[in-house]
Homo-oligomer: A and B are copies of this chain.
Amino acid sequence: MTEPLTQNIQDYLKAIYGLTSDGGKASTTALAARLGIAAPSVTGMLQKLAALRPPLVVYQKHRGAHLTPEGERAALEVLRHHRLLEAWLVESLGYSWDAVHEEACKLEHVISEEFERRIAAALGHPVRDPHGAPIPSAELVMPPTNDVPLGSLHGGERAVVRRVDCEDAPLLQRLKSLGLAPGAELNVLEVSPFDSGLTVQVTGQKPVVIDPATSSHIFVETVETMEA
């Protein structure tokens, strides 16, 4: 290992990882918005990360940045910490799922590898965090998933909620009250051709209408209907 990365750098790498999951580049502006930092500061940091030896990002002026293998490893390390911590705050300390993000965001930079090992073992080496996000393995491999956006379903399809990709506490509370949490089964009753709004029925609940802004945070796995 090289020198330990600062907390700030870890946050940058995590953000770049998140913004490049589609295979593209993370732009200066997108990073600035996500991190709440002024764009010029981001430029400076990207230049620095690209100049490190070994470099953590590949960066080209005006074209944004993406992670090098080293940068990705560092990002996955932090992400593993974050998601294990979230799982463990919920399972072991009784936090609600809308309250864990902030706490995990601070702890993730500070825990030791021993701490990581112990909570992973205590939880039985979970593969998903409380929001359904996949947890990178101890070897820093991100487990593959079959999750698709809820908004991609058609009327009549059945699915199981796998992931709610959201850090906003009020929205998480609302979704939980609607039963829209990982593991919930649902039926898509109707898709509005105008605004793509979805009418869905979670098993055992009343049907609800979900606007596209909300459904974009929800990922599901479709279920084969048993009867022909």
| Max chain B C-beta neighbours (<10 A), residue from A94, A110, A114 | A110
* Contact between B112 and A93, CB atoms less than 8 A apart: no
Copies of this chain in the oligomer = 2
* Contact between A110 and B112, CB atoms less than 8 A apart: no
Contacts of A103 in B (CB 8 A): 111-112, 114-115
Residue ID in chain B nearest A119 by CB atoms: B93
* Contact between B94 and A118, CB atoms less than 8 A apart: yes
- Complex Cα spacing A105 to B6, Å: 17
Interface extent on A, as a size class? 10 to 19
- Complex Cα spacing A119 to B94, Å: 10
Query: A92 on the interface (CB 8 Å rule)?
Result: yes
Contacts of A118 in B (CB 8 A): 93-95
Query: A106 on the interface (CB 8 Å rule)?
Result: yes
Q: List 16 A-B contacts (CB under 8 A).
A: A93-B118, A93-B119, A94-B118, A95-B114, A99-B114, A102-B112, A103-B111, A103-B112, A103-B114, A103-B115, A106-B110, A106-B111, A106-B112, A107-B110, A107-B111, A110-B110
